[in-house]
Chains A and B, each alone.
Chain A
């Protein structure tokens, strides 16, 4: 019983590999991870569990560094971060403290305002009187991590299934953020990423005959919870329900109390007595106009420094604020016109602004492929693959003219590709053009080695015993092993260097060589032995 298994273990191993690949390719449970709200069968692309990369499915890939400068090994002289930020910001024109960041763990100070040059930053650091080792371009690890987290949130909340973001390092040590979003156009993705999405509330109030604006009475960080965008039932428009933080450290005023005081001070309670009192802000002139004979103060919803909506206040709410009781709950609605706008504001509030800009135009790359083009590429690469296999098969038949030798050779080479496809499904590695090229290269090298085995075994006369076969097979295997080792060594730089999507080519060429040497080529030897050995 055990004897045949022992004798044919190499062939059995190949069978196991092929069966395993079939399970990975077609079995349930190995498919792509379904996006939220998507069933497992919907996530599947085609009849197999294979996943397709951007080249073959359409989508956008962006690779760019974060713009900014970092001063390293800064001597803080025991100053707390806030003091350092204030001191450096004071030396930079037009830069607010938001664009500066101190990372005590890395002893670093970074500036993320793209308008600040390296020279200006150096000068500001010198003027602020903090010693530093050097200023390098790029931002700190902490900021990169935060950015990746936020982009991830943005992708998820925009419902872009299959999108991913990660950090890659180039050979020169520079860090890049790599964003891949299947099925979306280039401009849409860039808009989503570049939207720094600062949301704030200003108060516009009548100032004599003109209009004054108190900026930033509420900003992003004042919000405690952010609800989902909701359509207003009674009136037109939509809103995002939020709660404003109403607790603060000892001795400080909470955001909710500060907002409440500002509203009370601008006289909202007096202005809004009943539903007839409305906000008369004209976004084009920036002036408050008369409504029913009054010029009432208004709340302005400002996204990316642009006023997107202006609204008055419910009389009840205004009274609560004047009485100082509103801050106990801190509940508030950010009112917008269109529902889509409410959605985008909720998204921006929740995902937050990117801590630093992606420098796509300066040092980045982007590529985008439409879904139909990707589908075409999928068909074409299948045709190219099949024709290449035919070419190899044709050559092998022409050379050996003996189906006994040639047929198993082609079947073995195909089994190798099939096993690799199984690996791709199992690992969830998305197929791309580069990976397809790797498959074709594998067919090429695979058949090469089978030729070596066949020639070696059949040379020097008849194979008349197991011992003769084994000795010849071992000799052939030395060459195959050496050839495999050189291929792996030559391809490994490509695997780690991060040259575009070529790492897929390298990974699958190397994987193919390993599968070949460990599984398929020994099995071909066994098949050949069974066919050739005179018993």
Chain B
């Protein structure tokens, strides 16, 4: 059996600027991607059904023929996406942003599926104006959670720079997964919003651990960092493992909610590894050796 050994990083080889450069570059890149998305599509990410409105049907694949072909001919409007779920003989068909009477559309689509001999096992319908409300609520929720977390972190450490380091790294943890979602073509859904909120709560754990080790324990700086790192990397890796497994299995079975949460958390936690042990460490080192002395 291979043991996981958390590698010892010799931080003394690198200057603070060098350490912080990598995560900052990622952050800038992520912000640029999101900015580009806003310019190109008017939204920071690819919005899913819950944020645009529309109808999603789950059609049972119980025939021997080519179901996808059947689906293409069954409906009198072109589906926005047709997705076959490997583990669960169903096909998910999405019709987005039906401005004209989505509920009537849902009924029509169900009738058309029935007429074509397709069995509908689930149907979701979201009206566009409800969807825009949901989007506003989601943005508000994420902002509120972030604000609450920031206030709490400042209250816990009561020093400016280390607290700022935690908040900055949490911000980057939040932004990088959104950019990754855009690049991977994953849509923003309620599941991803839940995952983003989870990142806010989850990713600061390792930052708090690092700050606690450096600021509140006795011991030399590099020793404190490596101690916090051993624990922190282990726990982040266990979480990443759980999330990757969840994402893969949920994709096979076509459970979108669990897949989205899994992917976003996995990406966010990877970003957190980088942010915590490069950006956060450099900020803390600056604070410890130069900031305090000033």
Residues of chain A touching chain B, judged by Cβ–Cβ distance below 8 Å, are 63, 170-172, 174, 186-187, 190, 360-370, 372-373, 376-377, 380-381, 383-384, 387-392, 394-399, 401, 433-434, 436-437, 440-441, 443-445, 447-449, 451-452, 455-456, 459, 475, 478-479, 482-483, 485-494, 497-500, 502, 505-506, 509
Contact = CB atoms under 8 A, between A and B. Distances in A.
B145 A360 contact: no
B193 to A, nearest CB: 7
A373 B3 contact: no
A434 B253 CA distance: 15
Nearest to B261: A437
B141 A399 contact: no
18 contacts: A360-B127, A361-B102, A361-B127, A368-B122, A372-B121, A392-B238, A440-B258, A441-B198, A444-B242, A445-B205, A486-B152, A489-B145, A489-B149, A489-B201, A490-B148, A491-B197, A494-B194, A500-B190
Nearest to A369: B122
A475 to B, nearest CB: 7
A398 B4 contact: yes
Interface in B42-63: 50, 58
Contacts of A170: 133, 137
B231 A491 contact: no
B24 interface: no
A493 B145 contact: yes
Nearest to A438: B194
A441 B242 CA distance: 9
Contact of A434 (B136, B137, B194): B194
B1 A475 contact: no
Interface residues of B, number: 81
Contacts of B130: 63, 363-365
B235 A493 contact: no
B255 A377 contact: yes
B200 interface: yes
B144 interface: yes
A369 B191 CA distance: 18
A373 B90 contact: yes
B190 A502 contact: yes
Contacts, number: 251
Contact of A367 (B124, B156, B194): B124
B191, B244, B257 — which one has the most chain A CB atoms within 10 A of its CB? B257
B235 A500 contact: no
B274 interface: no
A440 B246 contact: yes
Interface string B98-141: 00011110110010000000001111111101100110111011
Nearest to B2: A398
A436 B103 contact: no
B4 A399 contact: yes
B258 A499 contact: no
Contacts of A190: 103
A493 B246 contact: no
B255 A381 contact: yes
A483 B205 contact: yes
A451 B233 CA distance: 10
A447 B231 CA distance: 12
A384 B3 contact: no
B212 A482 contact: yes
Nearest to A448: B235
Contacts of A364: 103, 127, 130
Given A361-B127, A395-B234, 9 more contacts: A174-B133, A366-B103, A367-B122, A369-B121, A380-B249, A380-B253, A398-B4, A437-B261, A455-B227
A499 B137 contact: yes
A112 B156 CA distance: 53
B171 interface: no
B242 to A, nearest CB: 5
B255 A491 contact: no
B250 interface: yes
Given A384-B255, A490-B148, A479 B212 contact: yes
